[in-house]
């Protein structure tokens, strides 16, 4: 993401967490950056920092996403880069997670991804260039209790983006899937404030959550190397552990629930 001078970039979830870090780096490198977020207080803080065009946007509302993208195109120009980081991460055991809340989670995490991608992709393909960086999660591979719905949404995002990469590989538009581990950002607090898995609570208490700046550094390097799927931090290890030794994986993560 280094060569972005004078490019137009949209960062969803850009008012906090890794989205905010990425938006700041893009602006510092000369990009014209619009940040989409639903948290108006965080948007106001970001706007006060300067260098951004802040837009309130519910990523789970297709009409809002399309309108916000159209506004960016009208005010800043055609979109060269989309970084889609917006998500929710509440935690509940599946027996307790209401249908209404799970549907909302899918609308934001999965369909929000499709809304954002489809709002910028046709014009990118028509121009024969552009880049999309979409946040899936290692949680879509390495599953944990109390986060079944979240894991399902991220499995869906991981699948959607990987298929998209290969369907449009020769279009001139580059698509990257980012699968981070648990990162010390406000997103984690959404889980910790609900019925969080014991493994996540332990990671927070012991200081083992990943540093967001270091994760963004790894994403930068992965994009520069042209990697389709980027597994920053310990994410690749977690994926391999669950894939190669699932019984040991579940014994370990369930051990934190005792």
Q: Give yes or no for a contact between 180 and 89, defined as CB atoms under 8 angstroms apart.
A: no
Structure tokens at 29: 């490198």
Q: Give yes or no for a contact between 85 and 135, defined as CB atoms under 8 angstroms apart.
A: yes
Q: Give yes or no for a contact between 254 and 145, defined as CB atoms under 8 angstroms apart.
A: yes
Structure tokens at 256: 């934190």
CA nearest to 142, candidates 78, 15, 204, 233: 233
CA nearest to 181, candidates 237, 225, 220: 237
DSSP 211: P
Q: How far apart are CA 21 and CA 119, in angstroms?
A: 23
DSSP 111: I
* Per annotation, catalytic residue among 110, 115, 150, 231: 150
Q: How far apart are CA 206 and CA 216, in angstroms?
A: 22
Q: Is 150 a catalytic residue?
A: yes
Which residues have a catalytic role annotated?
150
């Amino acid at each position: 993401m280094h060569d972005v001078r004078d490019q137009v970039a949209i960062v969803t979830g850009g008012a906090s967490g890794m989205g905010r870090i990425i938006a700041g780096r893009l602006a510092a490198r000369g990009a014209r950056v619009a940040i989409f977020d639903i948290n108006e207080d965080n948007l106001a803080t970001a706007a006060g920092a300067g260098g951004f065009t802040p837009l309130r946007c519910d990523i789970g509302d297709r009409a809002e996403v399309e309108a916000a993208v159209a506004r960016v195109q009208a005010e800043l120009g055609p979109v060269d880069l989309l970084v889609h980081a917006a998500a929710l991460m509440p935690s509940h055991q599946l027996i307790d997670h209401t249908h209404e809340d799970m549907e909302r989670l899918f609308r934001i995490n999965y369909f929000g991804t499709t809304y954002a991608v489809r709002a910028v992709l046709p014009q990118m393909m028509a121009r024969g260039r552009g880049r999309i960086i979409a946040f899936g999660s290692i949680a879509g591979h390495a599953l944990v209790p109390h986060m079944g719905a979240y894991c399902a949404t991220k499995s869906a995002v991981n699948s959607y983006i990987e298929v998209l990469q290969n369907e449009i590989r020769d279009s001139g538009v580059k698509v990257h899937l980012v699968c981070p581990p648990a990162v010390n950002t406000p997103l984690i607090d959404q889980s910790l404030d609900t019925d969080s898995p014991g493994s996540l609570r332990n990671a927070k208490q012991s200081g083992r959550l990943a540093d967001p700046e270091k994760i963004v550094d790894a994403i930068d390097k992965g994009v520069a190397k042209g990697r389709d799927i980027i597994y920053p931090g310990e994410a690749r290890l977690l994926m391999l552990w669950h894939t190669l030794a699932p019984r040991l994986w579940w014994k370990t993560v369930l051990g934190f629930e005792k």
